[in-house]
Amino acid sequence: MKPAITLSLLFTLVATSAQAEEKPHALSGASEIGNQQLAAEIGADGAWLVQSQSRWDVLQKQLEKLNVKIDDQIGKIDFDKEDIACVFHYGDRADRFFFRKQGGDNTTRTLEIGLVWVAYKDSWPRSMGVWKLFAVPVAKSAATKLKITSFSSMSKQPIADKEEGDLEWEWTFSDNAGEAIGGLTATIEPRAANIKPGEDIQMKFTLKLADAAKSPIGTFAAKREAISVWDGKYSNGYRNHAFLVQMPDGAVKEMRPQEIKTWDKNAPHPVEIKVSTPYVLPNWVEGDELKSLKNLGLDTTAPGVYLITGIYEERGQPTADGKLAIWGGIVRSNTVKVEVK
């Protein structure tokens, strides 16, 4: 029998019309899972802002595929009015997420999630090795700022709303910024915002170091000075990126390069990403940085608005301490609009 490792999943439901002083109703579930695999395939730490039922369904299926049993009692979400903010990290089994507060308006919504960590005695090492997820609905807005503050278990219990924790992590989701996963974020930029029917949509796809973690010794996520990814030509069978395209009729299509498992003369090698050195995903021809969606099979003969989101996906390589020597996870970029007319 394989050793049991517990994954704790906590879902908090907060009615968007609730008064600030009301406490959310918490739901929880647990599963035994090889959580290093989760960290390598989904990400070691980060956040998602789920804006549709279809995306929420996809995420739940991904977790189920990794043997995560979700107690799906979070309630029916009206995605026309609210999103689901999810935070996750690979850390100590005693770490506990909880809802702090929500505020803002339709322009910028703010959400604060707390993380209580256990202050062990000097002789007790932190029991690292559990991947945990926490989710809470948040009212829709043009931008959503998500903050994670940490509290030592020596703090007052329960933690008073007025007590200030240590700011560990902060990220704003907007039209200009997608997700921050494992210290990595991605942006896409179209060559042209307006094209004629049948013309190609070309995208520049850039990976950047996300300035989300605030502490070099953070409990939720440590601040990173650099991240290593596989190079864009040879990584994962030449298909580590994809595009989700919402067509003018509302249908959503995934455009992904064909998988090619034969290597030419080079093996994949790591590329280091720093704040000063983002990485533009290259094409096979040296110097060509524009991804052709037409070559991926996109037909733009129908006039209207095309909404496009980039996806970068890699399986990480964890070291003995659970950290990733090569970045791993799934990160979604900002969403851009291209109009065909």
Select from 145, 174, 203 the last residue of a domain: 174
SS3 270: strand
Instruction: For residues 155 and 8, state if they share a domain.
Output: yes
Q: What is the pLDDT of residue 163?
A: 72
Does residue 157 carry a pLDDT above 70? no
* Mean pLDDT of all residues belonging to the chain: 80
Residues 108 and 231 in one domain: no
Which of 293, 318, 295 is CA-nearest to residue 307? 293
Check residue 226 and give its pLDDT. Answer: 93
- Look up tokens 């969606």; give the residue: 293
With a CB cutoff of 8 Å and minimum separation 6, the contacts of 119 are 152, 153, 154
233 and 327 inside one domain: yes
Same-domain check for residues 96 and 149 = yes
Q: What's the structural domain count of the chain?
A: 2
Is the same domain home to 40 and 139? yes
Residues 219 and 106 in one domain: no
According to the model, what pLDDT value does residue 6 have?
A: 32
pTM: 0.84
Could you report the per-residue pLDDT of 2-11, keeping only the tens digit for each? Answer: 333 333 333 3
Domain termination residue (choose one: 118, 147, 174): 174
Per-residue pLDDT, averaged over 240-249, amounts to 94
Same domain, 100 and 235: no
Range of the domain at 261: 176-341
Q: Which residue has the higher pLDDT, 156 or 287?
A: 287
- Cα-only R_g, the chain: 21
Judge if 169 and 61 occupy the same domain.
Answer: yes
| CA separation for the pair 334, 341 (Å, rounded) | 23
Percentage of the chain lying above the pLDDT 70 cut: 74
Same domain, 164 and 230: no
Contact 163, 106 (CB under 8 A): no
Q: Give the end of a domain, one of 116, 142, 174.
A: 174
For residues 163 and 225, state if they share a domain.
Answer: no
CB-CB contact of 333 with 186 (8 Å): yes
Query: Do 235 and 324 have their domain in common?
Result: yes
pLDDT of residue 282: 87
For residue 123, pLDDT beyond 60: no
What's 229's domain CATH number?
Answer: 2.60.40.10
> In the prediction, which pLDDT does 191 show?
96
Q: 294 with 184, same domain?
A: yes
